[in-house]
Amino acid sequence: MLKSLYSGISGLQSHQVAMDVESNNIANVNTTGFKYSRANFSDLLAQTKSIATAPQGNLGGKNSVQVGLGSTVDSTTRIFSQGSVDTTDKNTDVAIQGDGFFIVSPDAGNTYNYTRAGDFKFDADGNFVDNNGFIVQGWLKDPETGKVDSTAPITNINIAPGLTTPANPTNEVTLKANLNSGTNVENFSPAYRVPSGTPTDALNPAIDENGNPIKSGDVGVMFNDRGEAFSLQKDQGVWISFQSSIKDDGGAVAASDAELDITLELDDGTTERITTTGGSAANSAATNGRRYADAINAKTAITGVTATYDSVNNKIILENDNSSSYSSHNIRLKEVNGGSGLTVGTVTTAYTYTYDPNASSKPLNDNKTFTTVADLREAMEIQARDPDGDGVENNVEISVNEYGKLQISNPGGGDQDYTLDIAVTPYTTSSVSENTNFTTAMTALNSVLPVGGGAEAYSQSFNAATHSSSIDIFDSLGSKHTLRTEFRKTALNANQGSTWDMKISVPEPATIDTTAPFNEKTGSIRFNSDGSLATYDPPNVSFSANNGSAPNQQVNLSFGTSQQFDGITSFDAKSATSGISQDGYTGGDLVGIRIDQSGTLIGSFSNGRSFGLAQIAMAKFTNNEGLSSDGGSVYTQTANSGDPIIGTAATAGRGFIQSSALENSNVDLSRALTELIIIQRGYQANGKTITTSDQLLQTLLGLKQ
């Protein structure tokens, strides 16, 4: 009888514990990071009145007779299910999505506690602490490498108040761009200036007004003033003459029945024979002279030569003014028969100027080949100054001006001045076609320039495809300097790809080269036939700001990987910079901190830079339920929890961190209130067992009476 009393009492005690547990859950319904618990009931050892017996013969087996002695709460289980996450307006609030715990220390890192409550803040000393004042553990930025090493031992997270970052000199400039390889470009610049009188042979390269060598550019890869490529092929070019050539050294024209019989050798190697017939013994010299001139002029469309009879001196004068692109230009009288008075010789007015991609590698030859604008300018000036080749020169000036145009003037004052009668016509043969864009650019020179008249003739502009990019770099003092990179297309190999000149410059007094101009450094960049980068030079520059900062600052130029498309490319697309960056910065003060998903505390500084200053460590346990609650929303390790596995968020099964957010309690009020009802009914029922047992005892005592 007394057993039932004690069973009821144990039931009341067990339900009281369950009530305590559930009341605690409800009390912490708004506690950040709280995980609710449940009471685990178990029965007490039963009293065995008889044991179980096995079946024997015809008698079946019998079960044991056991009477339970009540219940007890042998454990409580903490449920670590995910609580809902609410965003907040505080940058240092953090919540864990998934498994894991923040690590905090009450004694500067000697012992550790663990929490899901991420309501963190900085104290007056810059310690990153929770609401208990415990310091959050993690990793700090290494002052040597500037990186946060999450493989090192964890330590107190401390960010000193008023933190500043020193200036960092630029070590690398990274550029990603495309340089247009097409035949139509939008970005182009005039050919470099070349003064009059400048030689261009290999021993005496063209120089500018400062005495620096000129890379005036391969005309074959240049463009006109509409951005259309010349695309000159080998041997394409033009005829150019600077005066009308006259042959007037012939003798007297014969009278009577003499006939004209001459053979002209044309500049394409063919010959043209011109004859007359039907002469009369009664013809005068003047009659024959006019007959002969008419016969020669009948072939002018082929030969380019016109004839005039000089009745005063009784002779025929031949002239070639290079006026037609369809007729010949350089004429030689190969044979002369009859009584015309003409003598074997040459009627020369024009020379061919043809493109040869390798002409600039040797002195100019008699065929007047050219590669660069400087070559073309010099070849023209040599002819214009001494058209008859007798070594007596005039002062004709031909230059390339600041607009990339060939500029011709006839100031006079020389020993052999003459009126410049400039005529440019296309050059074609059976195997060489006309280059229309180049011819059009050159025929703009066609004009007459009297001696000392002040008039000038100009070609259309010669332009190179160009592109430029600029970025600010920093010295060791944090001073800013603009580094400008300019590219200019200079050569093309049909099989290997294109080459562009490269000029890197900084504003004076800064320097990047040891030769004048000291603030500029030149080089080149070459591309493969598929537009990928082949090579570039220089790979770096030695920068000195000359303002008291550290000199000879090495700045690496990262323009891409050879044979790859990860940097500068050259496709048939608009020249454009798609990305440019550098790693330097000036000094700055800490103005704010934010936390990313990996738990890295990123500091924002007044110089616009952001750096990882520290990283929050996270711990994971084999058995979270084995942790012991220590109050203040923290847990401690126990023998049954296992050792903490410490690492970064979102790795090895640890959850990721959400900043500006807090994890709510996982207490479900509807479940908790329902549990209260169940506990209450259990408590009431156990109370009834006690009162009922009491009534039975009273009945028993009444038997004695």
CATH number of 510's domain: 2.60.98.20
Sign of the Cα torsion 346, 349, 354, 360 reads positive
Instruction: Provide the 10 A C-beta neighbour count for residue 623.
Output: 10
Strand pairing class (628-629; 645-647): unpaired
Q: What is the mean pLDDT of the chain?
A: 91
Q: 152-161, 245-254, 292-301: which range is least confident on average?
A: 245-254
Examine residue 10 and state whether it is found in any structural domain, yes or no: yes
Tell me, yes or no, whether 307 and 395 share the same domain.
Answer: no
Residues spanned by the domain of 60? 2-80+666-704
- Which of 296, 314, 348 is where one domain is finished? 348
Helices (H) and strands (E) in the chain, counts: 6, 47
Residue 393 has a pLDDT of 87
Tell me, yes or no, whether 697 and 555 share the same domain.
Answer: no
HEC string of 188-220?
EEECCCECCCCCCCCCCCCECCCCCECCCCEHH
Instruction: Provide the 10 A C-beta neighbour count for residue 22.
Output: 23
Tell me, yes or no, whether 276 and 315 share the same domain.
Answer: yes
Examine residue 492 and state whether it is found in any structural domain, yes or no: yes
Over residues 339-383, the pLDDT tens digits come to 899 999 888 888 899 999 887 555 555 668 998 898 899 999 999
Look up the CATH number of the domain holding residue 267.
2.60.40.4390
Query: What token pair was written down for 268?
Result: 């394409």
Tell me, yes or no, whether 265 and 338 share the same domain.
Answer: yes
CA 231 to chain centroid, in Å, comes to 28
- Which of 458, 488, 503 is where one domain is finished? 458
Examine residue 410 and state whether it is found in any structural domain, yes or no: yes
* Between 477 and 213, the higher pLDDT residue: 477
Tell me, yes or no, whether 396 and 340 share the same domain.
Answer: no
280-312: burial string, b at 16+ Cβ within 10 Å, e else: eeebebebbbbbbbebbeebbebbbbbbbbeee
Cα–Cα distance for residue pair 355/368, rounded to 1 Å: 9
Over residues 416-466, the pLDDT tens digits come to 899 999 999 999 988 999 999 999 999 999 999 999 989 999 999 999 999
pLDDT band for position 68 (50/70/90)?
A: confident
Tell me, yes or no, whether 470 and 561 share the same domain.
Answer: yes
Examine residue 386 and state whether it is found in any structural domain, yes or no: yes
pLDDT band for position 52 (50/70/90)?
A: confident
What share of the chain in percent tops pLDDT 90? 73
Examine residue 609 and state whether it is found in any structural domain, yes or no: no
Tell me, yes or no, whether 176 and 209 share the same domain.
Answer: no
Tell whether the model's pLDDT for residue 613 goes beyond 90: yes
- Which of 404, 436, 458 is where one domain is finished? 458
What is the signed CA dihedral for 291, 292, 293, 298, rounded to 10 degrees? 90
Element (H, E) at 624: none
Amino acid at 590: L
pLDDT band for position 498 (50/70/90)?
A: very high
Cα–Cα distance for residue pair 417/321, rounded to 1 Å: 18
Query: CB–CB of 444/238 below 8 Å?
Result: no
Query: CB–CB of 616/657 below 8 Å?
Result: yes
Q: Which residues pair with 65 in a beta bridge?
A: 50
Number of domains in the chain: 5
Tell whether the model's pLDDT for residue 513 goes beyond 60: yes
Examine residue 360 and state whether it is found in any structural domain, yes or no: yes
Residue 416 has a pLDDT of 86
Distance between first and last Cα of the chain: 19
Examine residue 587 and state whether it is found in any structural domain, yes or no: no
Query: What token pair was written down for 545?
Result: 């700001």
Cα separation values, 323 from 69, 331, 677, Å = 131, 14, 116
Over residues 250-284, the pLDDT tens digits come to 899 999 999 999 999 988 889 999 999 988 999 99
Examine residue 449 and state whether it is found in any structural domain, yes or no: yes
Cα–Cα distance for residue pair 421/399, rounded to 1 Å: 18
Query: CB–CB of 650/656 below 8 Å?
Result: yes
Tell me, yes or no, whether 176 and 35 share the same domain.
Answer: no
Over residues 635-674, the pLDDT tens digits come to 999 999 999 999 999 999 999 999 999 999 999 999 999 9
Cα–Cα distance for residue pair 91/603, rounded to 1 Å: 11
Cα–Cα distance for residue pair 637/558, rounded to 1 Å: 51
Tell me, yes or no, whether 394 and 268 share the same domain.
Answer: no
Over residues 168-226, the pLDDT tens digits come to 999 999 999 999 999 999 999 999 888 898 776 555 555 555 555 666 678 999 999 99
Tell me, yes or no, whether 366 and 431 share the same domain.
Answer: yes
Cα–Cα distance for residue pair 51/63, rounded to 1 Å: 7
Tell me, yes or no, whether 481 and 572 share the same domain.
Answer: yes
Cα–Cα distance for residue pair 524/533, rounded to 1 Å: 12
Tell whether the model's pLDDT for residue 73 goes beyond 80: yes
Residue 4 has a pLDDT of 82
Over residues 97-153, the pLDDT tens digits come to 999 999 999 998 999 999 999 999 999 999 999 999 999 999 999 988 889 999 999
The mean pLDDT of 7-29, rounded to a whole number, is 92
Tell me, yes or no, whether 479 and 413 share the same domain.
Answer: no
The mean pLDDT of 611-632, rounded to a whole number, is 95
